[in-house]
Amino acid sequence: MLSYRHAFHAGNHADVLKHIIEVQILRYLAQKEKPFWYIDTHAGAGLYSLTDRYAATNAEYESGIARLWHEKNLPESLAEYVDLVREFNPDGELRFYPGSPLLAEKLLRQNDQLHLFELHPTDYALLKDNFEGAGKRVKLYLTDGLKGVKALLPPQPRRGLVLIDPPYERNDEYREVPSSLEQGLKRFAGGVYAIWYPLLPKREATELPKLLAKHAQRWLHVTLQVKAAGRDGFGMYGSGMFVVNPPWTLLQTLEQTMTYIRDTLAQDPAASFSIVTNGLT
Ligand SMILES: C[S@@+](CC[C@H](N)C(=O)[O-])C[C@H]1O[C@@H](n2cnc3c(N)ncnc32)[C@H](O)[C@@H]1O
């Protein structure tokens, strides 16, 4: 049973890290004229109201996007991301937060394609509404993204980003994600794959990046810890992005901005970040 609803978490520190990286990768891919595909294996609803009962429950966005909203001198890559969020809040007040597929839609060109998987029927219906009239370049699938992505690879233009962003509400997902990456790389070795995962005090989460690294040669792994890990063994204290075949510009961008991101999103003095790479030189 699917109980996870992203509406509770929209715009939190994890979304900020994930979406800054997503935006940077898509902007890079869009620099070349040749079309590309954006594949989102776990798309969510697409757009979230920050004032409805879900987002207001824990107000997670207040320690995420809200901390960047009024900053005047954001580093360029953060400003590019916040400016996209502003497009959904034209009166300047932070009321809506776009999920990964709508951020992507802003950056893709007419000949690029979006392929969006969402398994939760309610979120799928919302996603469909949010892409109403978007045209033929957007394809929606009410199926399992980790299984379904295989059939789409390689994309016909042989360029693309696969964003893998599961809720990790089942422990099996920590096994299924590396396996999906392995299968994806067999079919589309040159693709960019961006995998989000939570920092949690549990073995499966700690080991995920090691399992991912077994399947890839060129990768960048960035983590953002926003607070000390809970002693009770529960609670997300940050998140990580494991990017396979990252654009060459991404490492430098993160080296220039992660200190700022850590300082802005810190919830206690244990806040920190790490960047590890392999095969990028
Ligand atoms: C973390 S949220 C996605 C957030 C979205 N990528 C974003 O950044 O805005 C995970 C989503 O995956 C959906 N989901 C869970 N298991 C799935 C599966 N096997 N295939 C596709 N979607 C799934 C959940 O219903 C939820 O909406």
**pLDDT of 193-251, one tens digit each?**
999 999 999 999 999 999 999 999 999 999 999 999 987 767 899 999 999 999 999 99
Q: Output the CA 45–ligand 1 centroid distance in Å.
A: 8
Mean pLDDT (the chain, rounded): 95
pLDDT for res 1: 63
pLDDT for res 83: 98
Q: Give the pLDDT of the chain (281 residues) as one tens digit per residue.
A: 677 787 889 999 999 999 999 999 999 999 999 999 999 999 999 999 999 877 777 899 999 999 999 998 999 999 999 999 999 999 999 999 999 999 999 999 999 999 999 999 999 999 999 999 999 999 999 999 999 999 999 999 999 999 999 999 999 999 999 999 999 999 999 999 999 999 999 999 999 999 999 999 999 999 999 999 987 767 899 999 999 999 999 999 999 999 999 999 999 999 999 999 999 97
CATH code given to domain 6-198: 3.40.50.150
Asked if residue 8 lies in contact with residue 54, where contact means CB atoms within 8 angstroms, the answer is yes
Tokens of 211: 């399992």
Q: Which atom of ligand 1 is nearest to the CA of 144?
A: 20
Residues 144, 169, 223, CA angle at the centre, nearest 5°? 100
Q: Active-site residue among 40, 112, 123, 165?
A: 165
Q: Which atom of ligand 1 is nearest to the CA of 166?
A: 10
Please report, for the chain, the start and end positions of each structural domain, with discontinuous segments joined by +.
Answer: 6-198
Asked if residue 266 lies in contact with residue 226, where contact means CB atoms within 8 angstroms, the answer is yes
Q: Output the CA 124–ligand 1 centroid distance in Å.
A: 10
**How do beta strands 138-141 and 113-117 pair?**
parallel
Q: Is 129 a catalytic residue?
A: no
Q: Which atom of ligand 1 is nearest to the CA of 196?
A: 1
Q: Output the CA 165–ligand 1 centroid distance in Å.
A: 6
pLDDT for res 54: 75
Q: CB atoms < 10 A from the CB of 277, how many?
A: 16
Q: Which residue, by CA, sits nearest to atom 26 of ligand 1?
A: 44
pLDDT for res 40: 98
Predicted TM-score (pTM) above 0.85: yes
